[in-house]
Amino acid sequence: MASTDEQIIAELGLRRERSWSIYDYPNLIRAASVLCFLSAWEIYGRRTDPLLLTYPTAVLSAALQLIGTGELPRQLMASLLTLGVGFVLSVVLGVGFGLIMGRSRIAEAALDPHMNALYATPQVALIPLFMMWFGLGFTVKAAIIFLFAFFPILINTASGVKNVGASMVEVGRAYMASHRQILLKIIFPAALPFIMSGVRIAIGRAIVGMVVAELFTAITGLGAMLTLYGNLFETAKMFVVIIVFGLLGVALIRATQALENRMARWKETERAIQ
């Protein structure tokens, strides 16, 4: 604030202290809202049939029990392993095919009708087919996660590569860069912001793929726990699994965003297709 303003305020003897406002403490409002909700749930939940609705303290004790018996950590690790394998596979193949489709118009013309058709199909509908092909084990889950995560990465990579300025490639070629150097030193870094936003979209979809795959195969993983406890009407334990899924979703999306900011720092306004 300029000194003249200060002088005027002092001369006029204006009051400068603001009255206390609730909007200065948004977290207070949030906490009050959550606390009200949890108390109402606790009171109402205790009076309803425990088969249908549980209550917060029951969820908490179920969580401690599931962690204590080691069931939750074990199933979480099983889920994360399939997620990791399926996701890494989709990043590798998605970026690879995306680079090819972005660079070669012939490859693009030959591949994109099929890719678009597969992308347009709601991928959950293909799960029964995958179960016929790959059985109920680890393979089918990794394959379903791959199916869910592959297309956003492929499409974003291809559009990122197509967006690389022709002049940059021309300069590289003028300085006698080899094909490999052009790809690795010019095109890949320039397309990286697009690739990373593809990865961010893909991680969310991979989690959905993991949940759906485990719900249907219902043998291992967090999704299987959900099916099992649903059939046993153990609602409190179902809530534990749902909360773990929520935390997992937040953690993985945050991690990808952090990676995106780190790896593609030059990204400013570019937004890839959704």
Partner 1 sequence: MALNALEETALRDLDLARARTFRPTDHLGLIRGASVVAVILLWEFFGRDVNPLFLSYPSAIARATVQLLAAGEFQRQALGSLQVYAIGLSAALALGIFLGLLMGRYRLAEYLLDPYVYALDATPRVALIPLLLLWFGLGASARIAVVFLSGIFPVLMNTFSGVRTVSAGLVEVGRAYGAREDKIFTKIIIPASLPFIMAGIRLAVGRALIGIITAEMFAAVTGLGALLIRYSSALATDKFFVPVIFLSLLGVVLSRAVEALERKMAPWKKTERAL
Residue ranges that bind partner 1, judged by CB under 8 A: 22-23, 26, 29-30, 33-34, 37, 52-53, 105-106, 108-114, 117, 120-129, 131-133, 207-208, 211-212, 215-216, 223, 226-227, 230, 233, 235, 238-239, 241-243, 245-246, 249-250, 253, 271, 274
**Cβ-based nearer residue to partner 1, 120 or 174:** 120
**Cβ-based nearer residue to partner 1, 120 or 176:** 120
Question: What whole-number distance in Å separates Cα of residue 147 and Cα of residue 153?
Answer: 11
Structure tokens at 174: 């003028």
**Cβ-based nearer residue to partner 1, 12 or 129:** 129
Question: What whole-number distance in Å separates Cα of residue 13 and Cα of residue 79?
Answer: 66
3-state helix, strand, coil in the chain (%, to 5): 80, 0, 20
Cβ at position 250, least distance to partner 1 in Å: 4
Say which DSSP state 19 is in: P
**Cβ-based nearer residue to partner 1, 181 or 242:** 242
Cβ at position 77, least distance to partner 1 in Å: 18
Question: What whole-number distance in Å separates Cα of residue 9 and Cα of residue 136?
Answer: 75
**Cβ-based nearer residue to partner 1, 76 or 242:** 242
Cβ at position 30, least distance to partner 1 in Å: 5
Cβ at position 177, least distance to partner 1 in Å: 22
Question: What whole-number distance in Å separates Cα of residue 116 and Cα of residue 120?
Answer: 6
**Cβ-based nearer residue to partner 1, 157 or 235:** 235
The backbone torsions φ and ψ at residue 80, rounded to the nearest 5 degrees and listed phi first, read -65, -35
Cβ at position 108, least distance to partner 1 in Å: 8
CB 265 within 8 A of CB 87: no
**Cβ-based nearer residue to partner 1, 117 or 174:** 117
Question: Would you give the distance in Å from CA 227 to the centre of its chain?
Answer: 22
Name, in order, each residue with C-beta under 8 angstroms of 241's C-beta and a sequence gap of 6 or more. 72, 222, 225, 226, 229
Cβ at position 6, least distance to partner 1 in Å: 26
- Give the CA dihedral 19, 23, 24, 30, nearest 10 degrees: 140
CB 145 within 8 A of CB 210: yes
Cβ at position 13, least distance to partner 1 in Å: 29
